[in-house]
Structure 1
Amino acid sequence: MLAEFYELANIPRQSNHEKAVSDYLADWAEKNGFDYVQDQENNVIIEVPPTQGYEKVPLTIIQGHMDMVCIADDGVKYDPLTDPIKLIRNEKNLTAQGTSLGADNGIGVAITLYMIRSKNLCHGPLRAIFTVNEEDGFTGALRISEKYFLDAAYLVNCDSEAFGELTESCAGSNRYDFSKSCTWVSPKGNKAYKLSLSGLRGGHSGMEIGLGHANAIKNMGIALSYAFRNGVHIELAVFEGGQALNAIPANARATVVIAADHQKAFEELMVVIMEQFGKTYQGIEENYEFTCEKTMLPDQVLSEADAESYLNLIVGIQDGVHTISPFADDLIESSANIGLAKLGAESMNLHVMARSSEDFHLLQYTLMYQSLAFMSGFDVENALPTPGWAVDSDNLLKDMYAQAYKDCTGKDIKIIAIHAGLECGSFAKKNPDLKMISVGPDLSDIHTPKETLYLDSIAPSVAVLVKLFKDMK
């Protein structure tokens, strides 16, 4: 099983760049004698015939996504388009050297490959579906033909991160891309500072948004706005942060120019605002580092109007948890994450992902961001909204898996709804009668360089799936 994962780790598979891994999966299917389809999106669909005696069992889909969130520690040289993942294994865990591991969802893909190739399983007809770009828009799930779902009775999504839990519902999401053309001018000030906020915990913007982790982009914007609102004229030359839309940014940096007579005030204000930051995130962000150092004067800075509008937008966007569900204990109902920020040669850009289990809150976010964009002079595009996955009170597959889990472990499964997104919502739109669950082995710190796969959870995860398929007869 791990051999399958090692092969995937050798293939760069950043979201929106999955052709190589898609070709690998298609080639794998052909070499192992399976009928398969590689569609125009590079999704791969593999047909697995039933074992003897299981021909009349309803068709079950096993599904995972082939892309990964590529995050590197500050200072680590890593090109997600060309570099493999360097694995580190000990007796208990599998991690990566300075980058995210890609076990989300590489281990789900690897488990599926292992199971459909195994000669010792008893199962009905199976269909393995591996989608592209789950992490940056769900385009694979949204655009795959519905014909691959209409004839299926069950779907097992292998994209969850805790053995012993079964996910039965998830949030929907919207992506908001803010942009504005910008004007670059010669600086009026004569002193430049390079600022860096790094070492934050980051994390998955759905699963960990409720843990209070600081957003580096948001807090860098707050620090600069604090100086600006306290009389320091700031000219902005660099502002960037984040590595993935659905990861809480752990790092941000900026370069600003100020007048010489504002130096002391600026430095003092940075000390004050970061002291407040440290107190606010005490016990959460213990390893952060903030630096504010003099640097060479840049040739160009944003116009005063553009700099002010960009900082106003960053500060004005609601970031973090918005509402808690009144119907489910401890379930975040809606949240937003500023995931990426970048000043380009021609435009200022900011990218936000909002999530909610209620469509009304997503509508609120859309209207709020449209208003903020208008007031700040930005355009905003609401790209590729993804549907949520509602609880199915008549989900036979959930009951079947719960029984298989108890038979294998002697324990009751924990059934949960999550604030993160899963492709199940998209599949439910294609076949509302499809009974679905999401399960997986133990992972932690996904979407960060600390991502960890716990090896002792893999075999039990597979054992429950084997029992599930066997008992479907």
Structure 2
Amino acid sequence: MNQKLKELDYKKIFHYFSEISAIPRGSKNNTAISNYLAEFAKERGLEYIQDEYENVVIIKEASKGYENAPVVMIQGHMDMVCEKTNDSTHDFLTEGIELLVDNDYIHADRTTLGADNGIALAYSLAFLDDETLQHPRIEAIFTTDEEVGMEGAIGLDVTPLKGKYLINVDSEDEGSLLISSSGGLTGTCELPINRVSNKGLKVKIMISDLQGGHSGAEIHKNRTNATKLMGRLLFELREYVGYGLIEMKGGQKDNAIPRDSFAEICINPEDLEDFTKAIEDISFKYKNELKSSEPYLAIHVQNLSEGTFECLHPTSFEKVLFMLVHTPNGVQVMSSNIPGLVESSLNLGIFHVDADKAVFCFSVRSSVNSYKQYLASRLNYMAGFLGGEFYVRGQYPAWEYKKDSKLRDHLFKVFVEQYGYEPKLEAIHAGLECSFFAEKIQDIDIVSLGPDMYDIHTPKEKLSISSAVRVYKYLEKVIEGLK
């Protein structure tokens, strides 16, 4: 454990955050962290459930005098988004995250930190391990694969659960109580492609150092999608030189705005000077357009080799380029009910050209279910029109606002007592697992909260140490006040 974190620790929250961070736990790699949580319960003689989805529920019965208090569920997800900088050699499958401390912040070495949602796990374990805490029955729920479709929450059997109060700790803004979230889906378009052999010079175009970010929490911040920008570059490059597309790739996660993309193309060697000038002109134009929103934008070119290359057939290329240029992306509708809230959006998070197909993977979000379906239908229509296919996975409902909420009232009251001012009650555009609990458990009362963290889903992710401690102390009072 980092020595400075050890000195600043409170009720072992950073101790457990360090242990959790040491375990590789990217989405679809849940076994080690799931077993760690089950072993934690076994060592303390706590009742636990570990299911076929590798979800874990740990139960701690009520303290004396709290037997009749409302049962409280504390919930977060095990998996983290695995993003790293281009110069990082970190292996997310085998290596844990090294925690670094800079003043008030914990961050990682050129990778995502995993505070989203490792801090929820650390809080829950600290509560379960604290013999001094006065509390009702606690049901700590740890779900899997939230970042890739909330599959753990979808599969979780809630029958053994007794709680009607759920505190989700998957938010990133101290001082905000979240009371509603959008629904969403992951939609994938696949366009079949044919290839032809072209002789020439293979060059690689790279777009890098865009800001990226969470496709729900930061979709409204005017951050450029690297894949869409590369599509525009290829579209405009045709005005300067002829070329064939060999390969292209952008983005790693459907719910992260792509920060980088690359394309390998084949040009006539005699056109190299014109090509170089074209990239200089295009680069200057994009940097000027995006100087405020993307100040670190970089466009580089690498000359690779001369030879014969399998390029997309011109017809296939036109279809792929048409999709890249014209597919909707970003904010589509702002809410008419809540000022400043995004109602509907989509993000082209993953794109790659394989040997025989081009794959476009979107994260679609909306607090209005019918508009979510409309966006999916548009993608389906475009893919079908171009001779491709579209399919949906990981669809999840919206978590709708509840007018009367005893849990929200309690959290509000305790917040004012601790902080001396009122918390913000907010709805968010990002999806939360709360929606599935609301769907599965009748009359459940839910609030989501969390400490300050920044730039989640990017290698710049960081967690405020002081905020993490304050929010934990706040939750202590919330739990003790449920008697």
- Tell me which residue corresponds to 1:33: 45
Question: What are the within-5 Å matches in structure 2 for residues 217-232 of structure 1?
Answer: 217-228=227-238, 230=239, 232=241
1:312 to 322, 326, 329: 322
- Rounded Cα–Cα distance in structure 2 between residues aligned with 1:18 and 1:175: 20
- Could you say what the CA RMSD is over the residues aligned between the two structures, in angstroms? 1.5
Q: Is the Cα contact below 8 Å between 1:321 and 1:332 reproduced in 2?
A: yes
- Rounded Cα–Cα distance in structure 2 between residues aligned with 1:223 and 1:432: 51
- Rounded Cα–Cα distance in structure 1 between residues aligned with 2:132 and 2:198: 71
- Tell me which residue corresponds to 1:388: 398
Matched AA of 2:284: E
Question: What are the within-5 Å matches in structure 2 for residues 232-311 of structure 1?
Answer: 232-260=241-269, 262-297=271-306, 299-311=309-321
Matched AA of 1:178: C
Q: Is the Cα contact below 8 Å between 1:428 and 1:434 reproduced in 2?
A: yes
Listed one character per residue, the Cα deviations across residues 221-249 of structure 1 (whole Å, up to 9, x for unaligned) are 11001223x27433111201112111111
Structure 1 residue 197 corresponds to structure 2 residue 198: no
- Tell me which residue corresponds to 2:110: 98
| Aligned partner of residue 147 in structure 2, secondary structure | coil
- Rounded Cα–Cα distance in structure 1 between residues aligned with 2:273 and 2:329: 31
- Rounded Cα–Cα distance in structure 2 between residues aligned with 1:377 and 1:87: 48
TM-superposed deviation, 1:431: 1.4
After superposing on structure 2, the runs of 4+ consecutive aligned residues of structure 1 that deviate more than 6 Å are: none
Alpha-carbon spacing, 1:347–1:148, altered in 2? closer, same or farther (3 Å): farther
TM-superposed deviation, 1:137: 0.5
TM-superposed deviation, 1:184: 3.5
- Tell me which residue corresponds to 1:153: 164
Structure 1 residue 54 corresponds to structure 2 residue 66: yes
TM-superposed deviation, 1:217: 0.6
TM-score (normalised: structure 1): 0.96
More displaced 10-residue stretch of structure 1: 405-414 or 301-310? 301-310
Matched AA of 1:51: S
More displaced 10-residue stretch of structure 1: 449-458 or 425-434? 425-434
Matched AA of 2:73: I
Structure 1 residue 184 corresponds to structure 2 residue 184: no
- Tell me which residue corresponds to 2:178: 167
- Rounded Cα–Cα distance in structure 1 between residues aligned with 2:121 and 2:247: 39
Q: Is the Cα contact below 8 Å between 2:254 and 2:363 reproduced in 1?
A: yes
1:440 to 450, 474, 479: 450
Listed one character per residue, the Cα deviations across residues 148-170 of structure 1 (whole Å, up to 9, x for unaligned) are 45x32100001011111110011
Q: Is the Cα contact below 8 Å between 1:316 and 1:372 reproduced in 2?
A: no
Listed one character per residue, the Cα deviations across residues 122-152 of structure 1 (whole Å, up to 9, x for unaligned) are 1111101100000010101111113145x32
Q: Is the Cα contact below 8 Å between 1:226 and 1:269 reproduced in 2?
A: no
- Rounded Cα–Cα distance in structure 2 between residues aligned with 1:345 and 1:111: 46
1:127 to 133, 139, 143: 139
TM-superposed deviation, 1:456: 0.3
% identical aligned pairs = 33
TM-superposed deviation, 1:279: 2.4
- Tell me which residue corresponds to 1:371: 381
Matched AA of 1:157: N
1:361 to 360, 371, 378: 371
- Rounded Cα–Cα distance in structure 1 between residues aligned with 2:51 and 2:369: 31
Listed one character per residue, the Cα deviations across residues 365-398 of structure 1 (whole Å, up to 9, x for unaligned) are 1111011101222211111211111110011111
- Rounded Cα–Cα distance in structure 2 between residues aligned with 1:191 and 1:91: 50
Matched AA of 2:357: S
- Rounded Cα–Cα distance in structure 2 between residues aligned with 1:309 and 1:347: 11
- Rounded Cα–Cα distance in structure 2 between residues aligned with 1:323 and 1:268: 39
Matched AA of 1:326: S
More displaced 10-residue stretch of structure 1: 68-77 or 292-301? 292-301
TM-superposed deviation, 1:261: 5.1
- Rounded Cα–Cα distance in structure 1 between residues aligned with 2:405 and 2:205: 52
TM-superposed deviation, 1:356: 0.8
TM-superposed deviation, 1:264: 4.6
- Tell me which residue corresponds to 1:206: 216
| Aligned partner of residue 83 in structure 1, secondary structure | coil
- Rounded Cα–Cα distance in structure 2 between residues aligned with 1:148 and 1:100: 34
